[in-house]
Amino acid sequence: MYFCGRKLMRMKIGTIDLGERPVFFAPMEDVSDPSFRRLCKEFGADMMYTEFISSDGLIRDAEKSVRKLDIADYERPVGIQIYGKNPEAMVEAALRCEEAQPDLIDLNFGCPVKRVAGKGAGAGLLQNIPLMLEITARVVKAVKIPVTVKTRLGWDENNLPIVSLAEQLQDVGIAALTVHGRTRKQMYKGEADWTLIGAIKENSRMTIPIIGNGDVSSPEIALQKFTNYSVDAIMIGRAAIGKPWLFKEVKHFLQNGELLPPITIPEKVELAKRHLSYSLERKGDITGVFEMRQHFSNYFKGLPNFKETRIRLVTETNPNTIHSILDEIAAQWGDY
């Protein structure tokens, strides 16, 4: 098989074989939990990650942090992502993660939210590159499984070190690098700029896989990112919320060059029910229902005259009533 004049290569992170043009599911707080990862895997996501885990919380045995170490064999390959700014804590947390037997450990140097970046962790480390490199080097040395990094272009438009930073991270031993095409200042606003991601791939010194992230929301866009920027993989994040079938659509288009028929409303309803079941099983009725709300809004996004039903769906707390509302949706919009 050839792609844009060059032979397609199977992507590997260490010894993890991810095939040709793999599609990753991004680590996202309160999104990439086990329930939703299960669905995304069923629809073909090639690489999974946990929600990010605080290194400080993990070494203190904080319940929320420890619970995020829970991974299942059907998710593999799966990575555990950690964040923090203290090298000793990050090393200790990485060793704890390794005991959970993930396929790799990912270091989060890209989270832009104030409670993380504002305290010098996540994307905050883009303002302290020496510390970022020290943390990375020490974690790589401490564990026996591959270590990868996810970061952004830079802190702001006047600070875009990613091309040289990619080299430095490779030199201290990471096995792959994911780059989100925005700065920390942008947060999630504006359009992701993949130009510098492409520049990393053009750098002849780079030998590790580069995964591009940002605004991959359709099969056509996925192909365009592979074509224009020569990335080894793409990562889908917010576009997958309430739309796990996006992975199947993207992979089918990449492999066959054709779009799948749109998923029907009754199919979405059955999928939402299954997702709710997974969430209740893992987290109980209260948390399980609460964390489904953002997904429910997106499952049925675009339906006409849906506002009143959507409000009921995302405010109801009784799982049985939610099932009844979902049945109403299938009955009312089944032919849409």
Task: Cite the active site residues.
Answer: 111
Amino acid at 231: V
Which residue, 199, 147, 153, 150, is CA-closest to 177? 150
CB neighbours of 285 closer than 8 A, spacing ≥ 6? 317, 319
Contact of 212 with 225, CB cutoff 8 Å? yes
CA atoms 95, 99, 49, 200: torsion sign: positive
- Backbone torsion region of residue 165, taken as left when φ is above 0, otherwise alpha when ψ lies between -120 and 50, otherwise beta: alpha
Name the DSSP letter for residue 116.
H
> How many Å apart are CA 183 and CA 138, to the nearest integer?
26
Q: Where are the beta strands (DSSP E) in the chain?
A: 2-3, 6-7, 10-13, 16-20, 23-25, 48-49, 53-54, 78-83, 104-109, 147-152, 176-180, 210-213, 233-236
Contact of 103 with 66, CB cutoff 8 Å? no
